[in-house]
Chains A and B, each alone.
Chain A
């Protein structure tokens, strides 16, 4: 758990982060979203002390982060930046082993860990271990950047617009991968983005920031149904908020008991996708099945539409 207590950062007369307090729960993804200049990156960088706060403090698992030297703190916290920041003169393996090397791991342990991570990110070790960053595609570089941040098994991972520089299709795959990694290792992830779609796709909870303050800190659905501020509504988008709301619930979660006539929909599909299937096929109802094809229930158009309204 990360507790941020009335954190403030001023550069001369300008206040970039203004008395921000929030509690970031463990083992889930928290996204900070806002326009550029909202202070979201500065807030993130104060967690690993790349920026020292003017006042206020940060506690990680109850421990004040200023109790140890900043560079030792950072070795325990994963950090990923936009445009990956890989060391161009080091091989992929050397890049990934950066923090383990700083921590003095022995060679065999580093080699095993590098191999493990390359396989986790579906990068063939035979091909990539000794490759240099410039020989990789943008998406591969980004994956190596995340693998590097995870190398020493940090409990906390900070990500500053990590997917800003890659194309939409690769970004979609990267989102899937990040969700998978979070589920597998239970890492506490704090991610900064200006992309609301990305926030909705990844976040357990979202902090909407503007002018150095947090306007609302809530579950994604609550941002749509109960926006605290007109700015939050503008950020989330008023016109398609019903559709966005549908995209936050899976067919499995919304399924009604019993079976029905109509096309089949995967339990992991969002209600938005399920509705699209029904519209396209001109059907009134659909059958929800899980990955093994077992019946999980059914959905009707009316039941889906009911989920797209504020409650």
Chain B
């Protein structure tokens, strides 16, 4: 028996994922063929759309990947197998879309079916499980993410997937997609940056003046409990009044609807985790280190920046990671009050019962949140390592 094989029976996660894959291949549609973008689809299995050697090859590869998932212990081999599986499934769905679309037809849609999504999920779980087992360092994790994004972007811009329904939606909305994606990122990053600029001093204040702490944290807690849509609504009234009363405010883009109330609400949501984590981080700084810093002649500012905040940094960054991921998701809802962002496609898609348009907004949002989490986790790990 080769040393790469498991010595203690089959891998349970691998067996579960393989079972899901079998169900997906046998019982679930790999793609849905739709006469146009809003009618329900006609389900097609993998071997139905790719008869002959191409389909069998894909099935063969997936069976091999499943065997690796169940029997092989080496994390590197599992990682490689998961990647091969992902590429095979991606090529299969692109080929299916091309073969089902009559040449020149812009009305017929080929959408990825439930079977495709289950396979994608199972293979992604196998991939992340293998990466976790390899324990890559923070730098390598970010590099892997960049590589993955690069491959996906290259594959999409190459045009291989252009016949897939979600890419059809993208082709129609390409200009708006770029604009709204940028708006989405700007709203998320801008609101978090603003919350850091305000929350950090507020956190320091709460730490220094204990009497203020419960009042400030209580208020922020209250804001956090307001449902997001309600908060957007509440902010419309005062901002609308402000724009009406102060022409300058209106001139710089403040109004009851649009990006201003969205940015303000996202900013308010981001404040509590940042202030609370700043207070927690500062409270955990060893009093001896602060005493020594004073005794050696650091000024109050030097003690704050070089000792207290420097030592609290991992906890503060963890707070920033939480709100950035949270706000990337919340921006989606801002579309409802005219705030823009990728949520526009989600709500338009819901309105038109065009599920492909919903996915065009939802998938990039999930990808953004995931990337932000990976990058900031890596930063937190680098910063924490020297502060054990």
Q: Which residues of A line the B interface, CB within 8 A?
A: 48, 50, 71-76, 79, 81-89, 98-99, 102, 132, 134, 145, 148-149, 158
Bound-state Cα–Cα, A212 to B288, Å: 24
**CB-defined contacts of B307 to chain A, threshold 8 Å:** 87
Contact status of A79 and B311, CB under 8 A, knowing A85-B289, A88-B289, A134-B388: no
On whether the beta carbons of A50 and B388 are closer than 8 Å, the reply is: no
On whether the beta carbons of A74 and B295 are closer than 8 Å, the reply is: yes
Contact status of A74 and B292, CB under 8 A, knowing A88-B387, A89-B311: no
On whether the beta carbons of A88 and B311 are closer than 8 Å, the reply is: yes
Within 8 A of A (CB), among B200-259: none
On whether the beta carbons of B292 and A86 are closer than 8 Å, the reply is: yes
A-B pairs, 7 with minimum CB distance: A85-B292, A79-B295, A75-B297, A74-B297, A85-B288, A89-B387, A71-B297
On whether the beta carbons of B386 and A85 are closer than 8 Å, the reply is: no
Least CB separation from A91: chain B residue: B386
Q: Please name 11 pairs of A and B residues whose Cβ atoms are closer than 8 Å in the assembled complex, sorted by A.
A: A74-B295, A74-B297, A79-B295, A85-B293, A86-B292, A87-B289, A87-B293, A88-B286, A89-B310, A145-B292, A158-B295
Least CB separation from A149: chain B residue: B296
**CB-defined contacts of A102 to chain B, threshold 8 Å:** 296-298, 302
Interface size class of B (residues with CB under 8 A): 10 to 19
Would you call the interface of chain B mostly helix, strand, loop, or mixed? helix
**CB-defined contacts of A71 to chain B, threshold 8 Å:** 297-299
On whether the beta carbons of A132 and B386 are closer than 8 Å, the reply is: yes
B309 to chain A, nearest CB (A): 11
Bitwise, B275-309 to A at CB < 8 A (1) or not (0) is 00000000000101101111111110010000100
Least CB separation from A72: chain B residue: B297
Q: Which residues of B line the A interface, CB within 8 A?
A: 286, 288-289, 291-299, 302, 307, 310-311, 386-388
Least CB separation from B306: chain A residue: A87
Least CB separation from B303: chain A residue: A71
Least CB separation from B300: chain A residue: A71
**CB-defined contacts of A89 to chain B, threshold 8 Å:** 310-311, 386-387
Which residue in A84, A88, A99 is a CB contact (below 8 Å) of B296? A99
Bound-state Cα–Cα, A132 to B292, Å: 17
Bound-state Cα–Cα, A89 to B292, Å: 14
On whether the beta carbons of B292 and A81 are closer than 8 Å, the reply is: yes
**CB-defined contacts of B310 to chain A, threshold 8 Å:** 89
Further 19 A-B residue pairs, CB within 8 A, beyond A85-B289, A87-B289, A88-B289: A50-B294, A74-B296, A75-B296, A79-B295, A81-B288, A81-B292, A81-B295, A83-B288, A85-B292, A85-B295, A86-B292, A88-B387, A89-B311, A89-B386, A102-B296, A102-B297, A132-B386, A148-B296, A149-B296
**CB-defined contacts of B295 to chain A, threshold 8 Å:** 48, 50, 74, 79, 81, 85, 158
A117 to chain B, nearest CB (A): 15
B272 to chain A, nearest CB (A): 26
**CB-defined contacts of A50 to chain B, threshold 8 Å:** 291, 294-295
Least CB separation from B313: chain A residue: A89
Bound-state Cα–Cα, A99 to B288, Å: 17
On whether the beta carbons of A84 and B297 are closer than 8 Å, the reply is: no
Least CB separation from B292: chain A residue: A85
**CB-defined contacts of A132 to chain B, threshold 8 Å:** 386, 388
B293, B295, B299 pick with most chain A CB within 10 angstroms: B295
**CB-defined contacts of B298 to chain A, threshold 8 Å:** 71, 98, 102
On whether the beta carbons of A79 and B296 are closer than 8 Å, the reply is: yes
**CB-defined contacts of B297 to chain A, threshold 8 Å:** 71-76, 99, 102
Bound-state Cα–Cα, A86 to B387, Å: 12
A72, A73, A81, A89 pick with most chain B CB within 10 angstroms: A89
Bound-state Cα–Cα, A52 to B139, Å: 49
**CB-defined contacts of A87 to chain B, threshold 8 Å:** 289, 292-293, 307, 311
On whether the beta carbons of B292 and A79 are closer than 8 Å, the reply is: yes
Bound-state Cα–Cα, A274 to B307, Å: 50
Bound-state Cα–Cα, A98 to B298, Å: 9
Bound-state Cα–Cα, A132 to B385, Å: 11
Bound-state Cα–Cα, A88 to B311, Å: 8
Bound-state Cα–Cα, A102 to B307, Å: 13
A48, A88, A98 pick with most chain B CB within 10 angstroms: A88
On whether the beta carbons of B386 and A98 are closer than 8 Å, the reply is: no
Least CB separation from B385: chain A residue: A132
Bound-state Cα–Cα, A71 to B288, Å: 17
**CB-defined contacts of A83 to chain B, threshold 8 Å:** 288
**CB-defined contacts of A98 to chain B, threshold 8 Å:** 293, 296, 298
